[in-house]
């Protein structure tokens, strides 16, 4: 099968840049889709284990970019500038059919800007639209200066990208293709950890960054202790990641019955499948819960200055993706100053005791998953088709 990509008597060549693990997973699925459409496709770029496992020889270790978060940028500024320049030059030397930057706009869009200035003939594609529907809508117009085409993972994003001057396709959210545990695996998880089949099981998800866990963890902890006072048989599971597992474990010492801490991916999937309820930080975890039909309460807060700034810039009355995609407000949110243990504990109790509230959330979750692409082609394959069409399309500007 041929790809239809323009080629000077060589296989299609795509330069792919990912800067963090979530981007690496998207990049791996995209590469798999492109190889399915044309097994001769060649790849250059930067990626992690998912992308290198599909044949990419990374220009340098992706972990260098993963470490360059907001607080780390200043001391790493010179190193970051060198890597941007090195990557842009590698793109220009490669002369690919397309440059695909995945998320991580602080790095990827700077590379795209240099490439666009030096060789406008190279198509530029960005995977994951900026959340202009939530705040800073001007980012789309700025991105349109260097990006031709966008691969969107939320269904309401394409019109916003097109209005800014880029072409855009909704390609599905990766959560719809992620593996989920079976009922048998969920039952085995409960049995393995001594949790009876009828004991209410709640997931404690205060975030994956130390700042989030430090700020939200004590409030979530107190909310769950209050809930346990009303429901003594309640059991708690804390899915966590290596960077914050020790911090979360320290919080768990307050509990008379120790919560279950899980880090391994298979255990996490089983915990999500086994859970009756979740208290979670705002973020994509709400979609993971929705995929497993776990009713949830969302809480989030940040430092006072950031809270005031975001509150001023925010353009929507909800930050939870299940609410936004389903166009409902089924998931209760406790944000900023409202992120307090008492109200969150009451909301959790209401979800456990009120079948109607649970049913309303489950219906919103099912609608969300359908709108995100459940049951259709895998998002990586849809993204690959979109890349191929975008590369061979005539330029409109």
Dump the DSSP string for 128-174: S---TTTS-THHHHHHTTT-SEEEESSTTSHHHHHHTT-EEEE---G
Please check whether residues 326 and 252 belong to one and the same domain: yes
pLDDT by residue (tens digit) across 275-308?
999 999 988 899 999 999 999 999 998 766 555 5
Identify whether 289 is part of a domain. Answer: yes
Residue 316 belongs to some domain of the structure: yes
Residue 7 forms part of a structural domain: no
397 occurs within a structural domain = no
3-state secondary structure of 297: strand
> Could you tell me the pLDDT band of residue 3, with boundaries at 50, 70 and 90?
very low
The pLDDT value recorded for residue 70 is: 39
pLDDT single digits (tens) 299-309? 998 766 555 55
Report percent pLDDT > 70 for the chain.
89
CA–CA gap between residue 131 and residue 152 (Å, rounded): 10
Residues 260, 161 share a domain: no
Cα Rg of the chain (Å, integer): 22
Q: Using one digit for the tens of pLDDT, what is the confidence trace for 110-162?
A: 999 999 999 999 999 999 998 876 667 788 999 999 999 999 999 999 999 99
Domain check: are 284 and 363 in the same one?
A: yes
- Torsion angle of C-alpha atoms 44, 47, 49, 54, degrees rounded to 10: -30
pLDDT of the residue at 77: 75
pLDDT at 303: 65
Q: Are residues 55 and 138 in the same domain?
A: yes
The reply to whether 135 and 165 lie within a common domain is yes
pLDDT at 311: 58
Q: Is 138 exposed, middle or buried (0-12, 13-18, 19+ CB in 10 A)?
A: exposed
**What does the alpha-carbon distance between residue 225 and residue 197 come to, in Å, rounded to a whole number?**
21
Q: Is the pLDDT of residue 330 over 70?
A: yes
Any idea which of 134-143, 164-173, 380-389 has the lowest mean pLDDT? 134-143
Mean pLDDT calculated for residue range 182-211: 92
> What is the predicted pLDDT for the residue at 1?
36
Residue 2 lies in a domain: no
Q: What is the average per-residue pLDDT within 315-342? A: 91
166, 150 Cβ separation under 8 angstroms: yes
Burial class (CB in 10 A: 0-12, 13-18, 19+), 305: exposed
pTM for this entry? 0.87
- Cβ atoms of 37 and 120 within 8 Å: the answer is no
Please check the confidence at residue 232 and state whether its pLDDT lies above 90: yes
CATH number at residue 346: 3.40.50.2000
3-state secondary structure of 330: coil
Q: Looking at the structure, tell me whether residues 117 and 227 fall in a common domain.
A: no
State the number of CA atoms in the 13 A half-sphere of 169 facing the CB: 17
pLDDT by residue (tens digit) across 46-83?
999 999 999 999 999 998 886 544 344 556 678 888 99
Lowest mean pLDDT among 15-24, 84-93, 211-220, 278-287: 211-220
Same domain, 361 and 339: yes
Rounded to whole angstroms, the Cα distance separating 209 from 223 reads: 20
pLDDT, residue 72, reads 46
Query: In this structure, are 130 and 215 located in the same domain?
Result: no
Tell whether the model's pLDDT for residue 325 goes beyond 90: yes
Range of the domain at 244: 183-371
Residue 177 counted as domain residue: no
CA terminus-to-terminus distance, the chain: 30
- Other CB atoms within a 10 A radius of the CB of residue 46 amount to 32
* % of the chain residues with pLDDT over 90: 69
Same domain, 226 and 130: no
Q: 42 with 131: CB under 8 angstroms?
A: no
3-state helix, strand, coil in the chain (%, to 5): 50, 15, 35
Structural domains counted in the chain: 2
Q: Do 365 and 382 belong to one domain?
A: no
Check pLDDT > 90 for residue 365: yes
In which band, very low, low, confident or very high, does the pLDDT at 209 lie, cut at 50, 70 and 90? confident
Structure confidence at residue 308 (pLDDT): 56
Does residue 88 or residue 396 have the better pLDDT? 88
To the nearest whole number, what is the mean pLDDT of the chain?
88
Query: With contact defined as beta carbons under 8 Å apart, do 52 and 58 qualify?
Result: yes
> Is residue 298 assigned to a domain?
yes
Question: Which of 158, 174, 165 minimizes the C-alpha distance to 29?
Answer: 174
Give the integer Cα–Cα distance in Å for 129 and 153. Answer: 7
- With 0-12 / 13-18 / 19 or more C-beta atoms within 10 angstroms meaning exposed / middle / buried, residue 365 is buried
Residues 233 and 315 in one domain: yes
Q: How many residues does the chain have?
A: 397
Q: Is the pLDDT of residue 210 over 90?
A: no
Six-digit token string for 96: 């690919």
Q: Could you tell me if 234 and 332 lie in one domain?
A: yes
Q: Which two tokens stand for residue 368?
A: 């969300």
1 within domain boundaries: no
In angstroms, the CA 161 to CA 270 distance is 37
């Amino acid at each position: 099968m041929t790809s239809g990509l323009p080629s000077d008597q060589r296989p299609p060549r795509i330069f792919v840049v990912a800067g963090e693990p979530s981007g690496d997973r998207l990049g791996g699925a995209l590469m798999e889709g492109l190889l399915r459409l044309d097994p001769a496709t060649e790849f250059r770029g930067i990626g992690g284990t998912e992308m290198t496992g599909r044949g990419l020889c990374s220009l340098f270790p992706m972990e260098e970019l993963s470490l360059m978060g907001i607080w780390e940028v200043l001391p790493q500024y010179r190193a970051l500038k060198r890597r941007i320049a090195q990557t842009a030059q590698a793109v220009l030397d490669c002369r690919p059919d397309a440059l695909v930057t995945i998320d991580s706009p602080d790095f990827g869009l700077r590379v795209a800007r240099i490439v666009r200035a030096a060789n406008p003939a190279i198509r530029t594609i960005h995977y994951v639209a900026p959340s202009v529907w939530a705040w800073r809508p001007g980012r789309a117009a700025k991105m349109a200066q260097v990006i031709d085409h966008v691969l969107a993972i939320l269904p309401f994003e394409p019109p916003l990208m097109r209005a800014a001057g880029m072409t855009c396709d909704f390609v599905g959210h990766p959560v719809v293709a992620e593996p989920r545990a079976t009922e048998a695996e969920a039952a085995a998880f409960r049995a393995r950890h001594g949790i009876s089949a009828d004991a209410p099981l709640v997931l404690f998800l205060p975030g994956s960054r130390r700042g989030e866990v430090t700020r939200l963890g004590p409030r979530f902890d107190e909310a769950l202790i209050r809930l346990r006072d009303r429901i003594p048989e309640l059991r708690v599971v804390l899915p966590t990641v290596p960077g914050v597992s020790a911090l979360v474990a320290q919080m768990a010492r307050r509990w008379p019955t120790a919560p279950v801490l899980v880090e391994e991916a298979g255990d996490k999937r089983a915990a999500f499948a086994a859970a009756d309820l979740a208290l979670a930080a705002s973020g994509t975890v709400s979609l993971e819960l929705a995929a497993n039909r776990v009713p949830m309460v969302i809480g989030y807060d940040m430092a006072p200055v950031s809270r005031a700034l975001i509150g001023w810039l925010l353009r929507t009355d909800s930050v939870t993706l299940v609410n936004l995609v389903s166009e409902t407000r089924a998931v209760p949110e406790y944000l900023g100053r409202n992120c307090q243990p008492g109200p969150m504990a009451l909301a959790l109790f209401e979800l456990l005791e009120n079948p109607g509230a649970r049913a309303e959330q489950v219906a919103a979750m099912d609608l969300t998953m359908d709108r995100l692409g459940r049951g259709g082609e895998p998002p990586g394959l849809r993204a690959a088709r979109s890349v191929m069409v975008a590369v061979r399309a005539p330029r409109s500007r």
